[in-house]
Amino acid sequence: MTREEIREITILPGKNRQGKEEFFDEITIRPGDTLSIVGPTGSGKSAFINDIEIFANRDTITGRTILVNGSLPPEAFVRDPAAKPVALITQNTRCLCDLSVSDFLRMHLSSRGCMNESCIQDTILLANQFTGEPITGTVRMTSLSGGQTRSLMVADAILISNTPIILLDEVENAGIFKEKVIQVLRQHHKALLFVTHDPLVSLLSDRRIVMQDGAVSRVIVPDGAEEKAIRQMISVETMIGQLREMIRAGEMITAPLPVSL
């Protein structure tokens, strides 16, 4: 099986921190799906996406099993970085590589046997859609900010690694435009799972996986009942965005805020 042939990933239940069986049957993810993982600190969100990243086979603390197209995945998916169909981007993703952005991307492209130079510029342009601080090809990887690094890694995962599954672990504090990331990944028909504390971004996903005590406690599939809340959240976000820009520009906020929704 090659990663282009991935039609679905299935998560089979494991156990919570007390050793009790998780009570979902299975969770299936297909290309184009967006799932948010929510829950309190320490509830097992990172453990859940790490299980997917390493294709757990009852060999992690959670006891979950990950299937690809209904069977255990080939060994290469787990061991060979070039064959791995999953990219995990965490808050701590840093790049300790003393190359310029262009040279780094070129090296990655050639390691995948592709020498399409235009892909380098496309990756930088895509990364710049995710971050407020533009990246240029000449800047060194080590001098990128946290948000720039994560944005570049997401763009690289989409265009160069071209992995069908992308996992994001709490990257919102890195100042990355997550709504834009979701939109682009949907367009590229990627499966996206992200851990988030951002209410609007959670509401915008196709499914919400709620974690508690190391286990999935609920899978919420929106049925339209949250549409009004989403519209209200968008206007709140717009207002907060405007305030943020005013504060960044050194202005004072003296007018009353339009708090009624």
Ligand X SMILES: Nc1ncnc2c1ncn2[C@@H]1O[C@H](COP(=O)(O)OP(=O)(O)OP(=O)(O)O)[C@@H](O)[C@H]1O
Residue 66 — left, alpha, or beta (φ > 0 → left; ψ -120 to 50 → alpha)? beta
Residue number with the smallest Cβ distance to ligand X: 214
Number of shown-chain residues binding Mg ion (CB under 5 A): 1
Scanning 25-33, 79-87, 137-145, 209-217 for contacts with ligand X by CB under 6 A, the matching segment is: 209-217
17 binds, among ligand X, Mg ion, none (CB under 5 to 8 A by kind): ligand X
Give me the residue label for tokens 């995962």. Answer: 157
Report the alpha-carbon distance of residue 157 to residue 154 in Å, rounded. 5
Residue 141 — left, alpha, or beta (φ > 0 → left; ψ -120 to 50 → alpha)? alpha
Task: Report the residue from 46, 65, 131, 163 that binds ligand X according to the rule CB under 6 A.
Answer: 46
Tokens encoding 28: 């299936």
Give me the residue label for tokens 């799906």. Answer: 33
Residue (155 or 195) nearer to Mg ion, CB: 195
Please report which residue ranges of 160-226 form alpha helices under DSSP H. 178-187, 199-204
Residue 149 is a binding residue for ligand X (CB under 6 A): no
Task: Report the residue from 9, 35, 53, 62 that binds ligand X according to the rule CB under 6 A.
Answer: 62
* Window 29 to 88, contacts with Mg ion (CB under 5 A): 46
Task: Report the residue from 7, 21, 42, 92 that binds ligand X according to the rule CB under 6 A.
Answer: 42
147 binds, among Mg ion, ligand X, none (CB under 5 to 8 A by kind): none
CB 74 within 8 A of CB 55: no
Residues that bind Mg ion (CB under 5 A): 46
